[in-house]
Amino acid sequence: MPWPLPEGDAERLTLAKSYPFAAVSDSYLLRGGQALPMPPSPDLYTDRVPVIAHGSNRAPDQLLRKYGTAAEVPVSRAWLHDYDVVFSAHVSRYGSIADNLHHTPGMQVEVFVTWLDASQLARMHETELGGEVYIYGRMAGIALELDHGPADKLGEAYVYISRRGCLTAEGQPLALAAVAARRRVYTAIKQIDILDLVHARHGGGLPLDVLILRTIRDAAYRRALIVALGDGAVPTSVPHFEELHRR
């Protein structure tokens, strides 16, 4: 099952507008509910799968929502070559416009690699694959440079990709300003700006906060909005990706 949403409207609005949530500036070890400096221990990565976190899963707070304080998860800061992190053409169940990877040759984008054991990967599947948006698979033949980890570079890792495509303005994807990048070619905007854009296009003139709360409370409305966002969306382009699992 997914993680529980806040009960109050104010807390829900804050959550929706805060995506992709606060990341840290370096690799870290999630342990005891805290993001600790990554210790130099190769044993940390034994029997763990490298899963690229390009959106909310890079943030300690989001991992805590999913795993709780008892979990231990190594998280490596990394640079993924030839991709950008852009907005997906869908609205999450907590009201945010979530993200997607998109092939962009010549670029580098900051991501994090969550090293998940078997039970943690199963839990991540529960939170990512239930909404008919994300699919899980392997990216091979990539250049993924790690700040910390069992190697300096990975040529293969796993990832969740949105099958809803990428939101656009003037025919081009819109990148996440909250995610660092080198040689970015797309316009980068904040979460509040993409929320304004989406609801201005499809919200019938109602106040933004009213519309955000409606997407959280009314699943049928949210699904209809996701369908509307598909018109004009750029198809997801991840040529290194092989799908392994969807729900």
Assigned domain for 112 exists: yes
Coil/strand/helix, residue 247: coil
Tell me what pLDDT residue 150 has. Answer: 94
Tell me what pLDDT residue 55 has. Answer: 97
Tell me what pLDDT residue 246 has. Answer: 75
Assigned domain for 3 exists: no
In the chain, what percentage of residues exceed pLDDT 70? 99
Assigned domain for 210 exists: yes
pLDDT tens sequence across 4-26: 999 999 999 999 999 999 999 99
The CATH number of residue 59's host domain is 3.10.490.10
Assigned domain for 57 exists: yes
User: What is the number of domains present in the chain?
Assistant: 1
Assigned domain for 48 exists: yes
Structural domain harbouring 150: 9-245
List the one residue out of 99, 215, 84, 94 whose CA is nearest residue 166: 99
Q: Is the pLDDT of residue 114 over 70?
A: yes
Assigned domain for 4 exists: no
pLDDT tens sequence across 155-209: 999 999 999 999 999 999 999 999 999 999 999 999 999 999 999 999 988 999 9
Assigned domain for 19 exists: yes
